[in-house]
Amino acid sequence: MADTWTVAGKTFSSRLIVGTGKYKSFEQNAAAVEASGAEIVTVAVRRVNISDPGQPLLTDFIDPKTITYLPNTAGCFTAEEAVRTLRLAREAGGWELVKLEVLGEAKTLYPDMRETLRATETLVKEGFKPMVYCVDDPIAAKQLEEAGAVAIMPLGAPIGSGLGIQNRVTIRLIVEGAGVPVLVDAGVGTASDAAVAMELGCDGVLMNTAIAEAKEPVVMARAMKLAVESGRLAYLAGRMGQRRYADPSSPLAGLI
């Protein structure tokens, strides 16, 4: 049976969601998306360039008909800004599946959970299906789910830091307690970090900088695809128990 996951009624095979920021060119971005195997990309909503309207657009390179665009609210620091941004995103794209993030401060880009929860409630009332970036706190995750979040997306480490999964215990607790998909969003630096997230039982991983700022983004995109698949398989396989001391792999009987 195919190993798929479903969010807000849409089913996906790839468990890797990639961002579309920080790339050198649209061409490189499109090649990285292709190599990653991602079926969902995050996008930002920004003012059109009125002084030079003829510039190429992201949609010219990554086709929203084949790749699901997940509009996000990066850069929003209040619930009102985030909701306003997503209302525009819904009009631009025509779909309800969105990524909510409401940031608390520029230094850490940690989410402001009070504003995030308020925005989630408003969005759900208006018919949106928000996937929500949040702190790695199992209680906050539960509250978001109760408010109608269609996916919980705790940070592994600060956005763009590449520090890897800092608290496996809390990510694991969120996974165990959640009735909706859980995806690590932010903090992944390299392939092993993505594998760790998946081994913890997450339904997926979202990343941008780890691919875009690699020396070879397209190669890293493929590494991430394989890491997410490996981590998922290891989770499904069920890892061995850990021991404090050695346990020989070869039989002790029949030694000469």
Partner 1 sequence: MVHEGTISIRVNGGHRRVPAGISVADLALELGLEPTRVAVERNLEIVPRSTLADVRVEDGDDFEIVTFVGGG
Name the residues that contact partner 1, by CB under 8 A.
19-23, 26, 29, 42-48, 50, 53-54, 57-59, 64, 69, 71-72, 74, 84, 87-94, 159-160, 208-209
**Which of 64, 69, 65, 58 lies closest to 26 in space, CA to CA?**
58
Select 98 or 141, whichever has its Cβ closest to partner 1: 98
Single-letter amino acid code for the residue at 155: L
Select 160 or 231, whichever has its Cβ closest to partner 1: 160
Residue 67 beta carbon to partner 1: minimum distance, rounded to whole angstroms: 12
Helices (H), 180-256: 191-199, 209-212, 217-237
Catalytic residue list contains 24: no
How far apart are alpha carbons 208 and 186 in whole angstroms?
Answer: 8
How far apart are alpha carbons 16 and 210 in whole angstroms?
Answer: 12
Q: Give the DSSP per-residue string, 100-148.
A: E--BS-TTT--B-HHHHHHHHHHHHHTT-EEEEEE-S-HHHHHHHHHHT
Residue 246 beta carbon to partner 1: minimum distance, rounded to whole angstroms: 44
Which residue in the block uniquely carries the two structure tokens 């997306």? 153
Residue 33 beta carbon to partner 1: minimum distance, rounded to whole angstroms: 11
Q: Which is the catalytic residue, given 10, 65, 99, 142? A: 99
Select 20 or 36, whichever has its Cβ closest to partner 1: 20
Residue 212 beta carbon to partner 1: minimum distance, rounded to whole angstroms: 8
Select 29 or 116, whichever has its Cβ closest to partner 1: 29
- Active site amino acids: 99
